[in-house]
Copies of this chain bind each other. A is one copy, B any other.
């Protein structure tokens, strides 16, 4: 028998995007009739079978949960997985993890692979590229066929699923406000690009806090990092441009990088500059000085996501019921980087 054909292979062979293939096979009107026909014929010729999700769902439960996350080097995602595993295993479910590597195409391909009978439902956090493209057809298709999704952290509006988030704007507001209560007056935020919801919301919360205290908010006090892996020079240049006395960073990597850069510039932390980071991971505990953080409760978020998904999988009711967004409370953990 011939090798099973994949979405990716069809896309390569016909020189179209994976998204186009995926949409064409689902008969989306976004794709021209001609292209749809061409793709469908090709898929048929090579025995590609879309739309067998509903079938497999009706036939049997796999008792497996699929997780799709952007990456695992980030401590936050590792703690979320740990929370998911714990609750899922207790309830007799196994967990399969796939990484999107921040790529939209990989997210679509992984989702397609797992949805074809391997698992009962998804827990996911979107790739940066997916959020940039604002293309969520792969989520909608899975949902349309009756397979539930729970999104966490990087979520989007308008998708009919449960969501587990922290109140990013409020947490960032309180972080900035904490610094101002300690007397800091010239704050900056090191964030991500705006299409990542957490970056946008945390920047908004920061801005609201600064304005709320009657201080001047300058757009130049916001650094939006696109490429986290090579952020060191960008952060150093940003910090050279102004004499900030307080920094909020949307993750601990940005925070320790800023801390190193400031120390290299001859600043003392927290005397000259105070720092607060999102994510209470290993780096925050072992950096020097240790970092004051906003604990995101990754394990709690993972546990809640798993419980929610399993509840929905095992519910006897119709799945068209209303969806819930659970907001997990954050906590401020004070360490040496703030006075």
A-side residues, CB < 8 A to B, are 1-4, 6, 8-9, 59-64, 72-73, 75, 78-79, 81-82, 85, 89, 92, 94-99, 101, 106, 109-110, 113, 118, 253, 256, 260, 282-283, 286-289
Task: Establish whether residues A97 and B94, one from each chain, have CB atoms under 8 Å apart when the complex forms.
Answer: no
CB < 8 Å neighbour of A3 from B60, B75, B283: B60
Task: Establish whether residues B110 and A94, one from each chain, have CB atoms under 8 Å apart when the complex forms.
Answer: yes
Task: Establish whether residues B106 and A89, one from each chain, have CB atoms under 8 Å apart when the complex forms.
Answer: yes
Task: Establish whether residues A94 and B85, one from each chain, have CB atoms under 8 Å apart when the complex forms.
Answer: no
User: Assembly of this chain: how many copies?
Assistant: 2
On whether A60 and B282 interact (CB within 8 A), knowing A97-B98, A99-B85, the answer reads: no
CB < 8 Å neighbour of A75 from B9, B73, B98, B260: B73
Q: Which residues of B contact A287 (CB under 8 A)?
A: 286-288
Q: What's the Cα separation between A15 and B20 when bound, in Å? A: 51
5 additional A-B pairs beyond A73-B82, A95-B99, A286-B287, beta carbons within 8 Å, are A4-B63, A85-B101, A97-B98, A282-B282, A283-B286
CB < 8 Å neighbour of A288 from B73, B282, B288: B288
Task: Establish whether residues B113 and A94, one from each chain, have CB atoms under 8 Å apart when the complex forms.
Answer: yes
CB < 8 Å neighbour of A72 from B3, B63, B81: B81
Q: What's the Cα separation between A89 and B9 when bound, in Å? A: 12
Task: Establish whether residues A79 and B75, one from each chain, have CB atoms under 8 Å apart when the complex forms.
Answer: no
CB < 8 Å neighbour of A60 from B1, B75, B82, B288: B1
Task: Establish whether residues B78 and A94, one from each chain, have CB atoms under 8 Å apart when the complex forms.
Answer: no
